[in-house]
Amino acid sequence: MAISEKFRARLSDLTADAVLERQMKKSELPKQMGIDYSSFVNALGYGIVPTPRIAMRIADYFGCSLSYLLGESDDEYFSASKQSATFSLRIRSLCEEKQVSPAQVCKDCNIYRGYLARWLKNDYIPSWEYLELLADYFGVSTDYLLGRTDDKT
């Protein structure tokens, strides 16, 4: 479980703005985001970085990139994907573009082949560590990998 002060501070700022703009209680936000209350409290109070799936819901709610939400970037610009794309589809497409097989990706990134097979078959979303590793390998953002944007960077 990762803890990030930058993430906590960014989420705190975004939450304060949302509460003012939407004239709602802070306690109503998790339901609006579609996340459980404890994940929200842990993130806001302690900077505990949630799973990628929960972070995606928070970022979607605020209309920002994951890197902005996590405090890794100060660039507020985010262009949501116009087409629905899944992690599985993006990985397959990137393998084709780079002309590598999933097995080669696993070898190059030192990822157990069973993990990638499961991610591709069942459309699971990997942990942050694997997402960042794959994003670096393909030269794309985690938002692109997860199908949140069509902008690769």
Determine the Cα–Cα distance for residues 3 and 6; give it in Å rounded to an integer: 9
* Percent of the chain surpassing pLDDT 70: 99
Helix, strand and coil content of the chain, in percent to the nearest 5, comes to 65, 0, 35
For the cut 80, the answer to whether the pLDDT of residue 1 exceeds it is no
Determine the Cα–Cα distance for residues 3 and 5; give it in Å rounded to an integer: 7
Q: How does pLDDT run across 103-117, given as a tens digit for each residue?
A: 999 999 999 999 999
Q: How confident is the model at residue 31 (pLDDT cuts 50, 70, 90)?
A: very high
- Going along the chain from its start, the domains and CATH numbers come out as 5-69 (1.10.260), 87-145 (1.10.260.40)
Mean pLDDT of 49-64: 96
What is the reported pLDDT for 84?
Answer: 81
Mean pLDDT of 115-139: 92
Would you give the DSSP letter of residue 3? B
